[in-house]
């Protein structure tokens, strides 16, 4: 149940009067303001979610305020640390209608309501806050503002599209609503969203004083400081709908704008793109849930073998900043030195971007110990092997470590790729899995758990698609055209470009191994092409030439019209991808199809509004 304390003072009473309404407590407060303190809104959750229960209770308590003539103003604040309202329940979008009415009452009320914000204020929480006559926020890193609805293929549907452009410049409002980016309190202040206060207690006092002073008169004039160009979006209809609704409000007035927002909000929520994005969101929530419980011992000390790009990256981006004491071990001094320099550079880049201050950088870097031997490894709670992709070398390292083993498949770039694939076998203990998950959660990763198998889940579905790319190129399709068809279908780049990035020599090695493991299932193009490319020095980006020579495209052959239709090419690539994902689910490598959709989007930048391979099957049918 939700709980609000609504505190207000009547000038004619000195004693407290308590009113109760389904979890709310209303009592007197010095002055004529009501202080609304929200607690335990979503039981069992760290943050507050704007769900059906909160909708109902919030409207009830606001009705008490409107009905009480002795309360002249109110302050809304969360009592959950680090969170005002983080988001809304996407299963209850229809419940936005009563909130729209309540927000309108706050906007037009002669009783000013002020939002005092400490922590996340996102989505429906932002719409609630900006419907108040003023907002105050604590000046700390936990106070963030954002309108992420566009990332779900919907629009801010509780008056956000009309209210936000009145608070900030229209281009700034578009930036928030069309990108879904979050802003910290200091930037929100510069944008005009709120005032920042250093401490929470001061913020409450200031907000109460402001609520007593501000006038109920509303300014209905909208100043447009500069023109905003239309944004064209090829895939999700949400951005263009947001622009259309905002434009309607500016040109035809707020009432028409609110009606348009309500209509478009309902229409867009029913599109296949929105359903795909919401499915991905639910999948991410599912992947973030703890599947194995708490480990017997909390992981506080981490050791990493291998100071290369991945090993040092694991330290820089996802371990030391989370407070883990870390040992970095390499076989040679020059390699260790490069790894330590990479760690420091990664932290220093964050100082340049003002994400850290220099003292924080130095404090984090002090958590790192570099060495050439295994001294102190016995004290480590977890050891991560990140040596070169050589099976004999990995076997030797594992024998030297003598530890319980579990696979943790990271993806580059580590700081931008949320995904982490945890690989288990039948003998993997629950506690080992729990420790790996606990570290991954601390590192901020979205986790999928997969059974061990050739290439794991991720490579096993990408490799057949690469084989299909080779076949299409050998049939004579121009590489520029193939790249265009692949990206227009929803992939960030052509699979040939991925091979260039990771190295054609590595792609050839993977193709050889998986070809032996999968046989005809892996068939398609002739893998001898990769062998020839490697022998002639076409190793990809690192050698300046691969599938792409970066001046003009190679691999031209007379095209065969019967296999070169644009739609045929796109679906041939996609079906290789999808069929392998389905096989992974059938064979038990994946436990749930939701995880199978998350991996391509989080790790390969597969177009989110297509929803992943299993959503693709739902939309197009199994035939």
Give catalytic residues, as residue numbers.
421
Distance CA 114, CA 49 (A): 20
Nearest to 460 by CA among 417, 522, 524, 516: 522
Cα 134 to Cα 517: distance, rounded to the nearest angstrom: 63
β-strand 144-146 against 182-184: which pairing, if any? Answer: antiparallel
The answer to whether residues 507 and 464 touch, using CB atoms and an 8 Å cutoff, is no
What is the chain's percent helix, strand, coil content, to nearest 5? 50, 15, 35
Give, in degrees to the nearest 5, the angle at Cα 430 between 429 and 435: 100
Measuring CA to CA, how many Å separate 510 from each of 71, 72, 184, 394, 555?
Answer: 71, 71, 44, 16, 21
Is 88 in a helix, a strand, or coil? strand
Contact 423, 452 (CB under 8 A): yes
Neighbours of 450 (CB within 10 A): 23
Distance between CA 492 and CA 600 in Å, rounded?
11
Tell me the sheet residues that pair with 33.
73
Maximum Cα–Cα distance for the chain, whole Å? Answer: 93
Helix (H) or strand (E) holding 135: strand 134-138
Instruction: Name residues whose C-beta falls within 8 Å of residue 613's C-beta, 6 or more positions apart in sequence.
Output: 461, 577, 578, 581, 582, 596, 597, 600
H helix runs in 68-169, sequence order: 96-108, 124-130, 160-167
- DSSP characters over 402-422: -----EEE--SSTTT--EEEE
Distance between CA atoms of residues 69 and 502, nearest Å: 69
d(CA 64, CA 73): 12
Alpha-helix runs per DSSP H in 332-455: 333-352, 358-365, 391-401, 430-442
């Amino acid at each position: 149940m939700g709980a609000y304390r609504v505190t207000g003072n009547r000038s004619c009473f000195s004693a407290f009067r308590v009113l109760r309404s389904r979890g709310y407590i209303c009592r007197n407060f010095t002055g004529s303001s009501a202080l609304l303190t929200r607690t335990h809104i979503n039981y069992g959750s760290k943050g507050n979610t704007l769900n059906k229960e909160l909708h109902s209770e919030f409207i009830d308590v606001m009705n008490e305020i409107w009905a009480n003539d002795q309360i002249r103003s109110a302050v809304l604040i969360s009592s959950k640390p680090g969170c005002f309202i983080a988001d809304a329940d996407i299963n209850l979008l229809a419940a936005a209608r009563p909130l729209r009415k309540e927000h309108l009452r706050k906007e037009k009320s002669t009783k000013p309501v002020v939002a005092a914000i400490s922590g996340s204020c996102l989505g429906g929480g932002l719409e609630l806050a900006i419907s108040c006559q003023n907002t105050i926020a604590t000046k700390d890193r936990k106070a963030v503002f954002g309108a992420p609805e566009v990332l779900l293929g919907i629009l801010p549907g509780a008056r956000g599209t009309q209210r936000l452009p009145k608070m900030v410049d229209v281009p700034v409002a578009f930036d928030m609503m069309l990108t879904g980016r979050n802003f910290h309190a200091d930037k929100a202040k510069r944008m005009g969203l709120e005032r920042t206060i250093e401490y929470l207690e001061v913020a409450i006092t200031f907000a109460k004083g402001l609520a007593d002073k501000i006038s109920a008169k509303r300014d209905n004039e909208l100043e447009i400081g500069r023109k905003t160009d239309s944004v064209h979006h090829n895939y999700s209809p949400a951005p263009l709908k947001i622009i259309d609704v905002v434009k309607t409000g500016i040109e035809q007035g707020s009432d028409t704008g609110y009606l348009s927002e309500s209509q478009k909000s309902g229409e867009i929520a029913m599109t296949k793109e929105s359903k795909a994005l919401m499915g991905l969101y639910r999948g991410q929530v599912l992947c973030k849930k703890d599947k194995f419980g708490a480990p017997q011992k909390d992981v506080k000390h981490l050791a990493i073998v291998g100071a290369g790009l991945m090993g040092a990256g694991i330290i820089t981006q996802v371990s030391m900043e989370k407070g883990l004491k870390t040992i970095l071990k390499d076989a040679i001094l020059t390699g260790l030195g490069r790894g330590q320099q990479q760690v420091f550079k990664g932290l220093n880049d964050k100082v340049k971007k003002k994400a850290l201050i220099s003292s924080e950088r130095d404090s984090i870097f002090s958590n790192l110990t570099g060495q050439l031997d295994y001294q102190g490894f016995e004290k480590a709670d977890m050891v991560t092997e990140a040596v070169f992709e050589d099976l004999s070398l990995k076997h030797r390292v594992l024998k030297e470590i003598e530890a319980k083993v579990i696979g943790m498949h990271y993806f580059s770039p580590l700081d931008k790729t949320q995904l982490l694939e945890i690989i288990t076998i039948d003998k993997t203990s629950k506690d080992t899995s729990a420790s790996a998950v606990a570290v991954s959660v601390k590192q901020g990763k979205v986790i999928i758990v997969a059974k061990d198998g050739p290439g794991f889940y991720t490579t096993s579905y990408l490799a057949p698609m690469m084989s299909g790319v080779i076949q299409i190129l050998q049939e004579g399709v121009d590489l520029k055209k193939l790249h265009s068809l692949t990206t227009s279908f929803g992939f960030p780049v052509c699979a040939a470009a991925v091979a260039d990035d990771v190295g054609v020599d590595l792609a050839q090695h993977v193709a050889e191994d998986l070809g032996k493991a999968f046989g005809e299932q892996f068939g398609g193009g002739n893998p001898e092409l990769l062998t020839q490319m490697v022998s002639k020095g076409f190793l990809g980006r690192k050698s300046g030439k691969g599938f792409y020579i970066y001046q003009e495209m190679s691999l031209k052959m007379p095209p065969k019209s019967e296999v070169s239709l644009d739609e045929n090419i796109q679906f041939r690539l996609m079906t290789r991808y999808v069929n392998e994902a389905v096989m992974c689910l059938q064979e038990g490598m994946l436990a749930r199809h939701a995880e199978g959709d998350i991996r391509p989007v989080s790790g390969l930048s597969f177009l989110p509004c297509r929803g992943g391979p299993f959503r693709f099957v739902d939309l197009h049918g199994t035939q």
